[in-house]
Structure formats: structure tokens, C-alpha cells
Amino acid sequence: MTKALLALEDGRIFECRSFTGHGEAAGEVVFNTSMSGYQEVLTDPSYRGQMVVMTYPLIGNYGVNPGDVESGRIQVSAFILREYQEHPSNYRSTATLRQYLTDQQILGIHELDTRALTRHIRTAGAMRAVISTRDLDPASLCARARKGPPMEGRDLVSGVSTPIPYFWSDNGPAPLAADAVLDRFLWDEKRTKFRVVAFDYGIKYNILRMLSDAGLQVLVVPATTSAGTIRALSPDGIFLSNGPGDPQPLSYAVDTVQALLGYRPMFGICLGIQLIGLALGGRTYKLKFGHHGANQPVQNLKTRKVEITSQNHGFVVDLETLDPNAVEVTHMNLNDNTVEGFRHRHYPLFAVQYHPEAAPGPHDSQYLFKAFAEMIRSHMD
């Protein structure tokens, strides 16, 4: 194991060791409280630009496998653990976590006091950091961390969105031809399923699985796809995906969503709800340390039931900026009373801040995908 240092922008230093060899990494440090599902965490595009601390102390014990990925590559900048387990024990495992990270040149560190780091972030907030096995000078690393780009004001979606439209199938993404003209594309004329266009702002594969399981034919399109192109496709519904970072600089996405409000039933998840909130004239703000984990309590204000949810976001919609005559809040976070869901009073539209598809996490909220399919069916009647 190679000696390493993690330096935060506020001057706090953590000694650790790399289990993936020499390397350096930079990004915002956030913690995730999930007890399992580390491969899904690693491949979640919403983590682009971030280094993830797992609060569960032992990671790597069941290895990795091709079936648990949520995108085409590892998305985190670095993986921070208390203890790495080199020898996995699981019949599905095809490689160790070390091999998985090394193959994609992602730095993995352990023997770090993750409890102390997590408590520090909870107190001081998520912040920029640098990890290095080569530069072990604390002052140098802290200075480099302070010079790193902040999460605010950056378009991280452009780095994770698909460049080519594709259909989702049982075998995964089925890309269209590179020269396909999207606004002239014809759907399957059999119309055995409702047709949904999904904007890819960093979409997770399990979202696509859940939409498909709800009886929807899903065409995934790049984040920059115009409202005119969507109208030319004439879908039955529109889905806005999760994604990384700050929604404020995504003016192209906000303008498109605004142009499509009321056109077809719309469902947004995570970044999707933030874009809808901005399109409706609201504002967003950054949380102190975000919501990252599979155990966030959310109350459904209609049923009064509490759902345990999977979440991964650092920004939320400001409740005070939503027009109550147009928007009804449907879900609230019971830890900090932030908005977790709303619906429009006039348009066929609803959205949630959490991840009903889980991966990893509980399945309490998977009913929302069927609710979206039912909204489409009702709109077509």
C-alpha cells in the first residue's frame, strides 16, 4: 500500500494509503451512507466532479460485476474508504474493486478515518480537496485544493450526457446510427408501448429499466436536444433525468423544459426536478453537505406515509420561490424539510428530488414509474 494524503481546502489533512498505486485526484468531497451498492455509487453520473467517502467501514467484500453498473464508466474522481477488502466472496463477482478502479485509472484510498472526515464535512460543509501519493506536503496540497473549481456555476452535464440518441432495450443501450436525423426518426409503428423521450443529463441505467418495466418505449436523447426536435418526435411523455452539479448554468436545458411545459406528461428525477423548478420561475440553492445515501426519510404529503429513499444531490429547489397557485408540494424531507417532490396544478407534470429507482437503495418509491405511465394513459384518453 502506498502512502497518501488527503487535503481539504480549509487546511484539514487526513493521512491514508492508496490501494490502487500512485496517483492524484481532485474534486469536491461528499459522503455516502449506503451500506452496500458501492459499484452503483461509483458509476452514478451524478457524482461527476466529486470524490466519495463511504461511511460504511468495509468496502470491496463482494467484488464487482458487469450487471451492477449505472453508466458506461466510473464517474467519481476518487473512492475513499476506511478499509478495503481485497478478497471478495460472492458468486456474481468477476473482479476485485482494486482491479475495477485501476483499469479505469481511478484513485482508491483507505486506512483513512472516514468517521472523522464525515463529521468534519457535516460541520464545515462539502468542500474541495486534493489526494496525492506524490505530493505529500500538506501546505502545497491545501493550496491546490483551494484553487480547484467549485461545483457552483459549472456545467457538468455536458461531460456525462450521451452524444448519440439510443433506445433502451433489455440488453442495454441500443444506439441509433451516427448519421441519424433525430427529428425525422420514426418510432416503432406497432405502438405496443407508450413512447417516452428521456433527456440524458446523466441518466442511471436502472431508471431506464424501471421506465421500460412500466410499459414505456424509451428513446434517450442528448441533454442539448431542442424542444423543436422533441415536438417533431411526437412522444407520449417526456422524462427529465438525474445528473451532476449545479442546475443554474444549464440555461439550454431550462429553456427547453420551459418550452415543453404542458406539451406532454412530464416526469423529472433529481436534477430533473431542479430544472423544472427553474423553468417554473423558482430558484435553487446548494445544501451544506448534500443528501447522499440510501436511508433518507421522505413523507408523502398525500398519503402521510414515510418512504425511505435513495438520494444523491447537492442542490435543491427553494420552496419559498415556487408559486403555490401553480405548484403543489407532494413530498418533504423529514431530516431538513427540503422539497422532495411536487406536481403542477394545471399541467400533467410531477417530479421528485430523490431516486425512486434506487440502485442502490430501498424500493419504497418505485410506484412513481407506474404513476407516470398512468398519467400518460390518462392524457391520451
pLDDT confidence of residue 4: 98
Q: Which residue shows C-alpha cell 420561490?
A: 321
What is the tens place of the pLDDT at every residue in 3-20? 999 999 999 999 999 999
What is the tens place of the pLDDT at every residue in 201-246? 999 999 999 999 999 999 999 999 999 999 999 999 999 999 999 9
Cβ neighbourhood burial of 90 (10 Å; 0-12, 13-18, 19+): exposed
pLDDT confidence of residue 341: 98
pLDDT confidence of residue 283: 98
Cis ω before 362 (30° cut-off from 0): no
pLDDT confidence of residue 380: 81
Residue 368 confidence (pLDDT) above 70: yes
pLDDT over 90, % of the chain: 92
- Amino acid identity, residue 277? G
Three-state secondary structure string covering the chain = CEEEEEEECCCCEEEEEECCCCCEEEEEEEEECCCCCHHHHHCCHHHCCEEEEECCCEECCCCECHHHCCCCCCCCCEEECCEECCCCCCCCCCECHHHHHHHCCCEEEECCCHHHHHHHHHHHCCEEEEEECCCCCHHHHHHHHHCCCCCCCCCCHHHCCCCCCEEEECCEEEECCCCCCHHHCCCCCCCCCEEEEEEECCCCHHHHHHHHHCCEEEEEEECCCCHHHHHHHCCCEEEECCCCCCCCCCHHHHHHHHHHCCCCCEEEECHHHHHHHHHCCCCEEEEEEEEEEEEEEEEECCCCCEEEEEEEEEEEECHHHCCCCCEEEEEEECCCCCEEEEEECCCCEEEECCECCCCCCCCCCCHHHHHHHHHHHHHHC
pLDDT confidence of residue 193: 84
270, 291, 292, 313: which one is catalytic?
270
355 noted as active-site residue: yes
270 noted as active-site residue: yes
| pTM summary value | 0.95
Q: Which residue shows C-alpha cell 483499469?
A: 103
Phi-psi region of 228 (alpha: psi -120 to 50; beta: other; left: phi over 0): alpha
What is the tens place of the pLDDT at every residue in 17-66? 999 999 999 999 999 999 999 999 999 999 999 999 999 999 999 999 99
Pick the CATH number of 157-380 from 3.40.50.11540, 3.40.50.300, 3.10.20.30, 3.40.50.880: 3.40.50.880
| 185 Cβ contact list (under 8 Å, min separation 6) | 165, 176, 219, 233
110, 292, 313, 355: which one is catalytic?
355
Q: Which residue shows C-alpha cell 482491479?
A: 99
pLDDT confidence of residue 179: 63
Average pLDDT of every residue of the chain? 95
- Neighbouring-strand partners of residue 32: 54
pLDDT confidence of residue 172: 82
Residue 183 confidence (pLDDT) above 70: no
C-alpha to C-alpha distance for 356 and 17, rounded to whole angstroms: 35
Rounded to 5 degrees, what are φ and ψ at 329? Answer: -70, 130
- Averaged pLDDT, 118-137: 97
Decide if 217 contacts 187 (C-beta within 8 A).
Answer: yes
In this structure, how many other beta carbons lie within 10 angstroms of the beta carbon of residue 163? 10
Distance of CA 370 to the CA centre of its chain: 21
pLDDT confidence of 118, banded at 50, 70, 90?
very high
pLDDT confidence of residue 18: 98
- Neighbouring-strand partners of residue 313: 291
Q: Which CATH class is domain 2-146?
A: alpha beta
28, 40, 70, 357: which one is catalytic?
357
Residue limits of CATH 3.50.30.20 in the chain:
2-146
Residue limits of CATH 3.40.50.880 in the chain:
157-380
Q: Which residue shows C-alpha cell 444506439?
A: 175
Residue 371 confidence (pLDDT) above 90: yes
- Amino acid identity, residue 256? T
Q: Half-sphere exposure of 169 toward its Cβ, with a 13 Å CA cutoff?
A: 7
Residue 184 confidence (pLDDT) above 70: no
- Amino acid identity, residue 213? D
C-alpha cell read off for 77: 474522481
331 noted as active-site residue: no
What is the tens place of the pLDDT at every residue in 238-284? 999 999 999 999 999 999 999 999 999 999 999 999 999 999 999 99
